[in-house]
Each structure stands twice: as C-alpha cells, then as structure tokens.
A and B are shown apart, each in its own frame.
Chain A
Amino acid sequence: MIFELIPTTLRMSTPLGFAALGGIYSERSGIINLALEGMMLIGAFGYVVGTQTSGSTWIGLLVGTSFGLAMALLHAIATVTFQAEQVVTGIGINILALGITEYLSPPPKQVDGLPHWELPLIGSYSFMVYLLPILMVASHTFLFKTPWGLRLRAAGESTEALAALSLSRTKWQYLGILLSGLFTGIGGCFLASEVHYFTKGMTAGRGYLALAAVIFGNWRPLSGVSACFLFGFATALELANRWNIPGQLLHSLPYILTMVVLVGFVGTSRPPASLGKMKS
C-alpha cells in the first residue's frame, strides 16, 4: 500500500526539495525569502517557453533556471543593496511573477518532459529526482564543511564576525539569494516538465510550502529536504484518497506541523540569528 505511494511522493516532493534548498541558502545568509513562490512560478514558465521556442528541454531548463536567477537578482538588489523590507519585497516579487506569467502566458501546447532514467529496483523517474539527494548532500557539505559555507552562514548569524575578517556581508548575501533563485528555478522547471504544460499560478503555494519545510527542517539541508518528502507524502495520501479522511485535512497537515514546530513543542527551532535584520 505504502509502496504504491512512493512514485507520487517522489514527484510531489522533488520541486519542493529544490525550492527548500534554495530557501535554506537565502535564509542562512540572513535574507527572508518569501519570493520562492514567484521564483518557482517563473522557472516553470521559463521552462515551457524555452522548450516551446527551441524544441529542446535542455534549453528550457536553462531558460527556466535563468528566469529564477533574474527574480533572485531583483530580490537581492532590493533587499541587500536598497535595504528594502524583505517580507514585502518577497510578496512583491510573487505578484510580479504572477503578472508576468499571466501577461505573457505561453500557448497551451504540450512540452516534452526532462529525460527519465530507468534505475534497477527504483524504477523510472526524471533525472531530477536523483539529482535532488545529491544536491542535498552537496549543500550540506558546502554549508557546514567548507569555509565558504561558514562565511555564508556568518552573514546570517553574526555580522560582526564577518566584519572582523573584513569580509563583505553584501557579497555573501547576494550569493545566498542567487543560489536560492537557481535552485528554486530548477524546482519550477521540474514542476512544468512533469505536468507538460504551463498554467496560470501553477505553483499553487508550493513556494510557501517549501518555506515551511525550511523551517520544519530547522534551516538544514538534510532535514529540510526530508521535511519535503514528508510533505510530499501527505500530498500523495491526499491524492490517493483511499481513506475517509478529508483531503483538506491532509492538505493542511504540513502547515499545522510547521506551526507546531515553530512554536517549539517539538525539538528546538532556531532561525539564523540575524535573519531579516537590516544592516546598521
């Protein structure tokens, strides 16, 4: 029974996982990123447009990812250079992405998905599904085992430490946000490549769900992506709809769990110390 749900779980949690990794980079560098939703949406849009115009899914992936990066750059310029309110900027970007994709909405023509790889025992999935665990481990290694990761985290934890080493907080925050756009854009590409279409507002709150996973996973790549698998499993249960549980309850389970975790009933949730704080 549970095994039947694995394919759906993997398909549902992979875009979340990419976005959550993105969210972790940004938030670890001290920038609240509510723009995940918009970055993911524009990534999906870019994938479909890129694939439609060039005929190649790889170009689509490239376009989608760079659209995600462009949104991230906008977020970085606003929040880091102009010290704009991060929460509001994020929401502005989400509205902007929704508007752009609606305005330029691509023709409803089916596009090819990214290549699927057949693996013994596991089955046939998009190669992105296999990429996610690799990137998850790589992100963990980067953030917690390398000096660069340490600096990126220092941008979000202690500005003084960076200043003492005469390193620029601005640079590391830009890096964090851009990585966020890169990963989230890829997540959006995956979403569109599995659905084969672009529809208006197709992310449907997945960006916010990924943000919930970031918090649920205590701002760590391994637990953040694991949270995405849990959330994806909840969605798979909801879609399978074989028990008499209202689907809406399963749907809101991730949100309720995140609130419980945030309040500190389960374990300790500790955001980066200067998350959301402006310079000065």
Chain B
Amino acid sequence: MNIRKLFVSLVRDETSQSRKFFLSCIPPLLAIFGFFLLCGIVVYLREQDALEFYRIILLSGFASLDDFGYVLFNATPLIFTGLAVAIGYKSGLFNIGCEGQLYVAAFAAAWMGMHLNLPVPLLVPLCIGSAMIAGAGWGAIPGFLKARYGAHEVINTIMMNFIAFALMNYLVTSVYQEQGQMIPQTPQIHEAAQIPRLASLIPILPQSNPLNVSFLIACACVVFCYIFLTYTRWGYELRLVGNARDVASYGGINPRAVTVWVMALSGAIAGLAGVAEVMGYRYRFLDSFSSGWGFTGIAVALLGRNNPFGILAAAILFGLLNKVALDIDILLGIPRGLFFAGQGMLIIWLVCIEGISRKKNDI
C-alpha cells in the first residue's frame, strides 16, 4: 500500500481497518505519554534534574543487550498474566485471581521438580503440564461457581487469591521448607527441570543475565492466543459469549460451559508465570515471590487493548518501567513508589478513556 493511500484511509475512510487500528492506538499512547510527563513533573518538583531523569529512562533499558535482557526478563511473567486477564475479559469475565493461580501453579511445578528425577524431555513437560493443570483448576473453581450458582467471579477469584496465599505459606513453612533455612522456600528443583538461560544459547549475552527460555514460551503463547482467539471455533465461541451472550445461546453455544473452560484456560496461562519464576529463574518456590504480577497483568491487558500482540508490547513496557524504577532508585534516590503510583494512575486513565468512548458509542 502506498503512503498516500494509507494517509487517506487514516484520515477520511471511516470504515477502514487501518484507521480503526490507528485510532485504537491513540489512548494507550496518550496514557503512556501522560505517565512519563507526570513522573518528570514530580522529579522537577523534587528539585532534581528532570532531563537526567529522562536520560536514565532512555538508557536504562536500551544501553546494552544485558539491560534489554533484564527488560524482557521482567516482562515475561507479565506477558502471561496479561494474556490470562485478556482471555477472560474477551468472554466478559474478570480474572482477578491470576496472582493466586500463578502461586498454585508455581508450587505444582516446584513439587514435581523436587520429587521426580527424570530426564529433561520428560520432566520439563511434566512440570509445565502439572503447573498449568494446577493453575487451570484454581481458575476453574470460580468459573464453575459462576456458571452453576451465578456467584460473581471477581469476589471468588479474590477470595481464592487469599486462600492460595495462606495455603502456599503453610506448605512452604510447615511441610516443604528447605532444611536448615530461615527463608520460607523449598529445596532446589532437579537440574533436569530447570529451563536454560538464554545466555547459554546466545554468547553475546552476559552469563549473569537472568533472561531464560520461558520468554520464548511467552512469545509462543502470544501467537497461540492470537490464533486461538481469531481463527478457532473455541475462540469464536469465547468472543461471542463475551459480546452477545444471548446470540451465543441461540447459536447453540452453552455460555456456562464456556465460562468454566475460559476461566480454566486463563488460570493455566497465568500459571505459566509461576513456571517462569520457578523453572526459569529461582529454581525453587519462594514464599510470596510475586510482586503483584497478577494485578499488573490487568494493567498490561488494558494497555494492550486485550490484543495478544498489544499485550506483548505492553508487558515489555512494564518490564522496562520496573527496570527503570530500580535504576532511578539507585541513581537518583527516587523511591520506586513513584512508578507504582504512576502505574495506578495509568490504569485509572485508561479505564476512564474506555468509559468515555463506550458512552459516546451508546448515544
């Protein structure tokens, strides 16, 4: 397509797909811009050099391959939780329970990795599979309660989060704690269950870089979700139940069954975030390892407009933000809380913008 034609379609043609895509990109970009502007203003008000702040932001993630590796490493769990939230959202379900699901899944992976001593081609799929099943099970319970009894999934996933935290805390402090350790963590998993670091495959990446193959799994998961949602029958059913429940019923789809399997699928994907942690990074289960990935996943899904590739981009942005937050803390002495606050503001702006556009469409 030539540039002129593209331009015309962006400006004039109301029905064009590229125009729609272009317009849908504006709110997230504006929100990100506003976020950085706000942070800059706060830094300026602290009487610190705002330009230095922006320079650090730009350099923090892209100065070297090592830095970018950290960004992608930070992004990995967020890709999974973002996809998990988006899959639920597409069928009209809020999965607030990613946090609990990823803990349960992480523990399942750690348990298998600790107790089974099998060759790599058997053990790795077994660990990942059991983690996904655990996550799916933890997600399917609220889904079932919603489908069968009409109990709101938001409340139930929140309750399941707290139950998961308590259960994990019990298991890791009373049953499976590593001998002679004060830290609430399990013993290390077998070497065969460890996912290799990318540094061992790419020689130019320093050995200390924690980026591992689970990032590639995350990318594969993005492609899988895109194809699943766009081109498969199940993806169609899922979206139809989300957009027009009655139509779905007329069309012979059972919305209740869809509710249960969507929550299970969402939980399974969220569980992969736990896999990335246990098998890819720490090689053991550490109590309360997640720094709110399940909740950040909501922001990631919102920012990525529930599109798998958008989520990939948004997760990388959040990975960058986490890295920047650390660097700013070390180099300029600005507490990381600033970035959390900004993240909260970002979420609120995005939902407000979405709300306004919904309001406009109604009239």
Residues of chain A at the chain B interface (Cβ within 8 Å)? 32, 34, 74, 78, 82-85, 87-89, 91-105, 205, 208-209, 211-212, 215, 246, 248-249, 251-252, 255-256, 258-259, 262-264, 271, 278-280
Contact = CB atoms under 8 A, between A and B. Distances in A.
Nearest to B347: A92
The bracket for how many chain B residues form the interface is 35 or more
7 contacts: A84-B348, A85-B354, A92-B345, A92-B347, A95-B341, A255-B159, A259-B160
A91 B298 contact: yes
A95 B174 contact: no
A84 B292 CA distance: 22
A94 B152 contact: no
B348 A89 contact: yes
A95 B170 contact: no
B79 interface: no
Contacts of B162: 205, 208-209, 251-252, 255
Interface string B344-359: 1111100110111011
B298 A88 contact: yes
B166 A248 contact: yes
A83 B356 CA distance: 7
B155 A92 contact: no
B151 interface: yes
Contacts of A209: 162
Contact of B149 (A32, A105, A263): A263
DSSP class of A's interface residues: helix, strand, loop or mixed?
helix
Contact of A84 (B155, B299, B346, B354): B354
Which of B292, B298, B344, B356 neighbours the largest number of chain A CB atoms within 10 Å of its CB? B344
Interface in B323-360: 335-348, 351-352, 354-356, 358-359
A280 B358 CA distance: 10
B163 interface: yes
Interface in B297-329: 298-299, 302
A93 B152 CA distance: 21
Nearest 4 A-B pairs (CB), nearest first? A96-B344, A102-B337, A99-B340, A99-B341
Interface of B: 94, 96, 145, 149, 151-152, 154-156, 158-160, 162-163, 166-167, 169-170, 174, 292, 295, 298-299, 302, 335-348, 351-352, 354-356, 358-359, 362
A216 to B, nearest CB: 10
B163 A255 contact: yes
Which of A78, A88, A100, A271 neighbours the largest number of chain B CB atoms within 10 Å of its CB? A88
A208 B158 contact: yes
A89 B166 CA distance: 26
A259 B351 contact: no
Contacts of B152: 262, 271
Contacts of A256: 159, 163
B359 to A, nearest CB: 5
B170 A246 contact: yes
A215 B155 contact: yes
A165 B111 CA distance: 61
A16 B288 CA distance: 24
A102 B336 contact: yes
Nearest to A101: B337
A103 B339 CA distance: 9
A105 B302 contact: no
Given A205-B162, A246-B174, A92 B348 contact: yes
A102 B295 CA distance: 17
A101 to B, nearest CB: 7
